[in-house]
């Protein structure tokens, strides 16, 4: 084989190897993004999904002792109950959007390994009623620390 | 008043930039010096006007002028003084102003440096730089006007994004943008060299130099970005393969490829076409990165319609790539290689491989970043490929690059003899294998860490061997060890600057491998006085305290850290409550160490302060990233220094 031929073949082998790496990488790690109604239409247990929806007001339960977090994600048409181990992350709250990564279980809930809370981009003017009650919180903590 | 003045300055700067670009191109075609001087005056004028824009914006921020929409949306009366200055580039419109300003400074440096030294290339360079500047000024005029007026004027502003209230915000964007905009200079020289058909020696020297400068700043920006992610975002990581990070990483990879392949061109007059292609690609990727992160396309294809800025960037990107690559195609006959590849076992082919892998890494990052978009556009299915994809694909590529980093600089040009290979590589290879075997014996089971460790020792071995031999040669002139080493570094600063950069990369590689393999974490709810143990550390929860800052309230937890050996340390992680945000934001606390960091994030807590949920991480070897980064930037700085003499 000519010298040039060797280089061309060598280069092609490497390019093919990298192409295979990319293909394998995508097929192994691709995660489908679904809404609650899409998930419930055809739930496949123990397959990884990203599930996006609104945290249904009143559904959030947080047990600090056992680190059990549960809530319901909704897209208005369907509701999926989600369980997670760990404290609610920043930007996560009832009535806000959230995306969770995890898998559907045979027991009929979605087991989340990761919560990606969505940052709200809309501007909301701060007004007294909407403040997250932190003034009151500070008062109660102050009392505690001066005691 | 300020919105009108600012808008006026922007439009005037745009007009001047367009005129300057046209005048300089006219001067290049006709040789008329009066046109060229007019173009130069335009460049100065553009800089003055953009500086005025920045001054106006700063004034608006410092006086809380909420009639400027950008000010009202990125500050409020409680924003501390310091962050009212950095808020200038806290969002899209302002970051474009910063971009244009830095670019105008580069344009002035080019005028000062090359108006006499490069009479042939210079007019075209000036024209291209002002042309690019005109594009950014157009963006400032039409799709993202920073001085848009807000009416009615609100009594208070929305406030800065709390995550941006960090000291890293003054250095990170500036360094990153100095890198991004810096690539305009090599791009302009490449275009100019092609137009006047002078793709010889001096073009390469100038371009290489400016690429190192831009590369230096881009590296610095990436490193500070990693540090910001680590100490602000509270997830304990430094790199998430986020589209914003990828956008900066892609041009870094292609610029790195160029810095290596350019040596083949200098030495063997080969790869001319490829090198020009890399310059164009790097510049294109800086634009693509801005497009990706600023157009909102990444969230979903559908958000594309939200603003017209994406269309502007895409159109300009298409113009730049089509224009530069067709210029390249029209000059193909002048860019034939003068040398040939002699052997597969030679420095040339190692550098070719290095380029192949670097460009492949850039491509995989590109692919992973745009794959969700492609999937949604083509198949209508929303998917994501996250960190697992990037890690899986890039780890083998980066390990291969590490290996080449050891081989490339020392293997002989043209054709390496068995003697050359043995002399340079036998000992380092043995050292790598031995160290990996010892680590295995000590109980390190992670194959990836062992491979990385063996490669790092191998590369460090080759560098030390080379340095040792060179110093020993110089010692024959009668210098002491220190004098000989220093003399060598300064004399052949490019070569040894490069080696120091390589050493920095090695330290970073160890930090990445170690932190991925050995970090541990736990999450737990503690009662007051209770202790959690992890990795030999004990963390005791001592209580909560609330304070009120100028623009937010903060709840801080006190935790006592001990490990039985050193004394006790108090860690104070907190949560910050901003009135404009509906949920709190974590403020992490940590104790950094050479081998391990203790990293504490406060989660939920009870109102009476009696219990708190914390995430405790022992992050191992993360400090090596910052140390390696420092070494890398020092090496790059050494390589930028003017060369004393061409190395013999």
Please list, in sequence order, all residues whose beta carbon lies within 8 angstroms of the beta carbon of residue B368, skipping any fewer than 6 positions away.
A25, B241, B246, B385, B389, B390, B393
Chain B residues inside the 8 Å CB shell of A144: 543-544, 608-610
- What are φ and ψ of residue B5, in 5° steps? -60, -45
Nearest residue on chain A to B385, alpha-carbon basis: A30
φ, ψ for residue B236, nearest 5 deg: 80, 10
pLDDT at residue B248 in the model: 92
Closest listed residue to residue B567, CA positions, set B538, B531, B592: B538
Q: What are the angstrom distances between the C-alpha of B571 and each of B410, B463, B559? A: 48, 41, 5
B577 to A134: CB separation less than 8 angstroms, yes or no: yes
Contact B384 A6 (CB under 8 A): no
Out of A62, A64, A137, whose CB is closest to B611?
A: A64
The confidence band for B422, taking pLDDT boundaries of 50, 70 and 90, is confident
pLDDT per residue over B482-540, tens digit each?
888 888 888 888 889 999 999 999 999 999 999 999 999 999 999 999 999 998 899 99
pLDDT digits 0-9 by tens, B228-237: 889 888 888 8
Q: Would the pLDDT of B600 be above 60?
A: yes
* CA distance to A55, A82, B577, per residue, from A106 (Å): 22, 13, 39
Q: Do B381 and A32 touch (CB under 8 A)?
A: yes
pLDDT of residue B638: 92
Rounded distance between C-alpha atoms, residue B73 and residue B91, angstroms: 9
Quote ipTM for the complex: 0.80
DSSP B302-342: GGGGG-SHHHHHHHHHHHHHHHHHHHHHHTGGGG--SS---
Beta strands A30-34 and A48-55, pairing class: parallel
CB B613 to CB A90 under 8 A? no
* CA–CA separation, B187 and B5 (whole Å): 33
Mean pLDDT of B591-602: 93
Interface contact A29-B396, CB threshold 8 A = no
pLDDT band for A117, please (50, 70, 90 cuts): low
- Name the residue with tokens 């500086």: B51
For the beta sheet containing B611-620, the strands, ordered from the edge strand earlier in sequence to the opposite edge, are B520-527, B611-620, B596-605, B589-591
Mean confidence (pLDDT) of chain B: 89
| Of the partner residues B349, B609, B611, the one whose CB lies closest to the CB of residue A141 | B609
User: Are residues B118 and B12 in contact, defined by beta-carbon separation less than 8 angstroms?
Assistant: no
Q: If pLDDT is split at 50, 70 and 90, which confidence band does B93 have?
A: confident
Q: What is the CA radius of gyration of chain A?
A: 24
**Tens of pLDDT along B620-642?**
999 999 999 999 999 999 999 87
- List, as ranges, residues 137-156 from B with C-beta within 8 Å of A: 154
Helix (H, G, I), strand (E, B), or coil: what is residue A74? strand
**Set of chain A residues whose Cβ sits within 8 Å of the Cβ of B352:** 7, 11
The per-residue pLDDT for A124 is: 37
pLDDT of residue B282: 97
In 3D space, the residue among B122, B94, B92, B91 whose CA is nearest the CA of residue B107 turns out to be B122
Choice among B115-119, B164-168, B457-461 with the minimum mean pLDDT: B164-168
CB contact under 8 A, B389 and A65: no
**B608 contacts in A (CB within 8 Å)?**
140-141, 144
How many Cβ atoms from other residues are within 10 Å of residue B91's Cβ?
Answer: 18
Residue B433 makes CB contacts below 8 A (sequence gap 6+) with: B454
pLDDT digits (tens, 9 = 90+) for B253-297: 999 999 999 998 888 888 888 999 999 999 999 999 888 877 666
Mutate to test the interface with B, among A141, A142, A145, A146 (most CBs of B within 10 A): A141
Is residue B164 scored above 90 in pLDDT? no
Nearest to B207 by CA among B277, B291, B285: B277
CB-based contact (8 Å) between B351 and chain A? no
| pTM as predicted | 0.91
Question: Is residue A125 scored above 50 in pLDDT?
Answer: no
| pLDDT tens column, B383-412 | 888 888 999 999 999 999 999 999 888 887
Q: Tens digit of pLDDT for each residue in A49-103?
A: 888 888 888 899 999 889 999 999 988 888 999 999 988 887 788 888 888 989 9
Contact state of A145 with B553 under an 8 Å Cβ cutoff:
no
Across the A/B interface, how many CB contacts are shorter than 8 Å? 152
CATH 1.10.3720.10 fits A31-121, yes or no: no
Taking CA–CA distances from A35, the nearest residue in chain B reads B382
The string of DSSP codes covering B100-141 is: HHHHHHHHHHHHHHHTTT-TTTHHHHHHHHHHHHHHHHHHHH
B419 — pLDDT class (breaks 50, 70, 90): confident
Measure B183 CA to nearest chain A CA, in Å: 27
Considering chain B, what percentage of its residues have pLDDT values greater than 90? 56
In 3D space, the residue among B435, B438, B441, B440 whose CA is nearest the CA of residue B455 turns out to be: B435
- Provide the pLDDT for residue A147: 39
Nearest Cα residue in chain B from A18: B360
- Cβ neighbours around B564 below 10 Å, total: 7
Reported as a pLDDT band with limits 50, 70 and 90, residue A43 is confident
- Quote the minimal CA–CA distance from A107 to chain B in Å: 25
In chain B, whose CA is at the least distance from the CA of A7? B344
Nearest chain B alpha carbon to A114: B235
CA B227 vs CA A25, B223, B374: distances in Å: 28, 6, 31
What are the domain boundaries of chain B? 1-160, 417-518+632-640, 520-621
Cβ separation of B546 and A91 shorter than 8 Å? Answer: no
**Sorting pLDDT into bands at 50, 70 and 90, what band is B378?**
confident
Say whether pLDDT at B344 is over 70: yes
Per-residue pLDDT at A130 = 37
Q: For residue A131, give the chain B residue with the closest CA.
A: B579
Q: Is the pLDDT of residue A13 over 50?
A: yes
Asked if CATH classification 2.60.98 holds for the domain at B520-621, the reply, yes or no, is: yes
Overall average pLDDT of the B141-168 stretch:
85
């Amino acid at each position: 084989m000519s010298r040039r031929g060797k280089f061309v073949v060598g280069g092609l082998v490497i390019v093919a190897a990298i192409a295979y790496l990319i293909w394998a990488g995508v097929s192994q790690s691709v995660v489908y993004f679904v809404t609650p109604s899409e998930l419930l239409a055809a739930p496949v247990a123990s397959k990884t999904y990203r599930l996006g929806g609104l945290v249904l007001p009143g559904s959030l339960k947080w047990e600090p002792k056992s680190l059990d977090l549960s809530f319901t994600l909704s897209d208005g048409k369907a509701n999926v109950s989600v369980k997670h181990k760990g404290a609610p992350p920043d930007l996560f709250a009832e009535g806000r959007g959230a995306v969770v990564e995890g898998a559907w279980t045979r027991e009929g809930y979605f087991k989340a390994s990761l919560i990606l809370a969505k940052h709200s981009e809309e501007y909301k003017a701060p007004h007294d009623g909407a403040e997250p009650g932190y003034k009151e919180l500070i008062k109660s903590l102050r009392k505690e620390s001066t005691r | 008043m300020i919105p009108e003045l600012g808008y006026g300055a922007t439009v005037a700067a745009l007009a001047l930039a367009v005129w300057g670009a046209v005048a300089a191109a006219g001067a290049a075609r006709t040789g008329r010096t009066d046109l060229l001087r007019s173009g130069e005056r335009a460049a100065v004028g553009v800089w003055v006007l953009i500086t005025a824009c920045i001054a106006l914006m700063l004034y608006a921020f410092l006086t809380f002028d909420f009639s400027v929409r950008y000010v009202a949306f990125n500050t409020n009366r409680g924003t501390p003084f310091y962050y009212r200055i950095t808020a200038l580039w806290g969002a899209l419109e302002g970051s474009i102003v910063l971009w244009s300003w830095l670019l105008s400074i580069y344009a002035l440096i080019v005028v000062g440096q090359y108006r006499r030294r490069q009479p042939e290339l210079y007019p075209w360079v000036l024209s291209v730089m002002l042309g690019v500047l005109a594009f950014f000024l157009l963006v400032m005029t039409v799709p993202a006007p920073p001085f848009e007026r807000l009416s009615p004027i609100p009594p208070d502003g929305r406030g800065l994004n709390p995550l941006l209230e960090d000291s890293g915000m003054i250095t990170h964007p500036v360094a990153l943008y100095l890198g991004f905009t810096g690539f305009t200079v090599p791009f302009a020289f490449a275009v100019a060299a092609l137009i006047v058909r002078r793709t010889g020696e001096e073009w390469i020297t100038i371009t290489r130099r400016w690429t190192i400068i831009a590369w230096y700043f881009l590296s610095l920006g990436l490193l500070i970005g990693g540090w910001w992610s680590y100490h602000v975002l509270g997830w304990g990581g430094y790199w998430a393969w986020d589209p914003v990070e990828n956008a900066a990483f892609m041009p870094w990879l292609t610029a790195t490829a160029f810095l290596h392949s350019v040596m083949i061109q200098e030495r063997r007059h080969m790869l001319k076409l490829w090198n020009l292609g890399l310059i164009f690609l790097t510049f294109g990727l800086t634009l693509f990165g801005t497009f990706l992160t600023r157009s909102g396309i990444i969230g979903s294809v559908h958000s594309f319609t939200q603003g017209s800025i994406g269309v502007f960037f895409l159109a300009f990107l298409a113009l730049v790539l089509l224009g530069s690559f067709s210029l390249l195609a029209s000059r193909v006959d002048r860019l034939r290689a003068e040398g040939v590849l002699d052997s597969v076992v030679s420095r040339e082919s190692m550098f070719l491989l290095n380029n192949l892998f670097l460009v492949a890494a850039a491509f995989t990052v590109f692919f992973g970043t745009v794959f969700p978009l492609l999937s949604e556009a083509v198949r209508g299915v929303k998917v994501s490929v996250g960190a697992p994809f990037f890690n899986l694909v890039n780890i083998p590529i980066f390990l291969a690059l590490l290996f080449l980093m050891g081989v490339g600089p020392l293997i002989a040009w043209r054709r390496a003899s068995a003697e050359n290979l043995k002399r340079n590589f036998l000992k380092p290879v043995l050292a790598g294998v031995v160290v990996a075997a010892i680590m295995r014996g000590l109980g390190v089971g992670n194959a990836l860490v062992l491979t990385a460790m063996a490669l790092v020792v191998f590369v460090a071995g080759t560098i030390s061997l080379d340095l040792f031999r060179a110093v020993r040669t110089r010692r024959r002139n009668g210098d002491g060890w220190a004098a000989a080493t220093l003399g060598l570094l300064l004399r052949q600063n490019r070569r040894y600057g490069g080696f120091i950069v390589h050493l920095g990369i090695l330290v970073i590689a160890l930090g990445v491998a170690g932190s991925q393999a050995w970090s541990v974490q736990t999450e737990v709810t503690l009662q007051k006085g209770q202790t959690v143990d992890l990795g030999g550390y004990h963390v005791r929860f001592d209580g909560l305290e609330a304070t009120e800052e100028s623009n937010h309230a903060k709840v801080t937890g006190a935790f006592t850290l001990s490990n039985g050996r050193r004394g006790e340390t108090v860690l104070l992680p907190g949560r910050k409550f901003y009135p404009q945000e509906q949920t709190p934001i974590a403020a992490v606390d940590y104790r950094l160490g050479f081998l391990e960091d203790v990293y504490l994030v406060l989660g939920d807590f009870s109102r009476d302060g009696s219990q708190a949920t914390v995430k405790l991480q022992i992050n191992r070897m993360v400090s090596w990233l910052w140390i390696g980064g420092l070494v890398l930037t020092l090496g790059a700085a050494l390589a930028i220094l003017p060369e004393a003499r061409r190395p013999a």
